[in-house]
Amino acid sequence: MAKSPLHMSDTDRPDGDAGVVVDTKPKTQRPPLYKVLLLNDDYTPMEFVVHVLERFFGMTHAQAFEIMLTVHKKGVAVVGVFSHEIAETKVAQVMDFARRHQHPLQCTMEKE
């Protein structure tokens, strides 16, 4: 069945060209991502930090121990990258858990 002019695509116009639309690259919008950072301090027990990383960031014990040691030695480490809402939730969960256990552990987020 012949196509009506209203249904012709850019490539089968009678003038043989693609009209005004030369090329369209779909622009996929991605939401900004946020790094969640854990900060070192002198008082929070190492085992508590390892537990936090296992509990709230789904790390294995070995992964958690390694990241905890990185924070202990370097002062800070990225423990995950998330959407704004998830990062906010993780920070709040860690801060609340630390506060309830009376540890001064600090967790923050920053735009990637």
Residue 28: CB atoms within 10 A of its CB come to: 5
In the bound state with ligand TYC, the residue whose beta carbon lies nearer, of 82 and 105, is 105
CA–CA separation, 27 vs 36, rounded Å? 27
- Min CB(72)–ligand TYC separation in Å: 4
Give residues in contact with ligand TYC (CB under 6 A).
Answer: 38-42, 44-46, 49, 68, 71-72, 105
- Min CB(29)–ligand TYC separation in Å: 34
In the bound state with ligand TYC, the residue whose beta carbon lies nearer, of 49 and 59, is 49
In the bound state with ligand TYC, the residue whose beta carbon lies nearer, of 40 and 89, is 40
In the bound state with ligand TYC, the residue whose beta carbon lies nearer, of 34 and 44, is 44
Cβ-closest residue to ligand TYC?
71
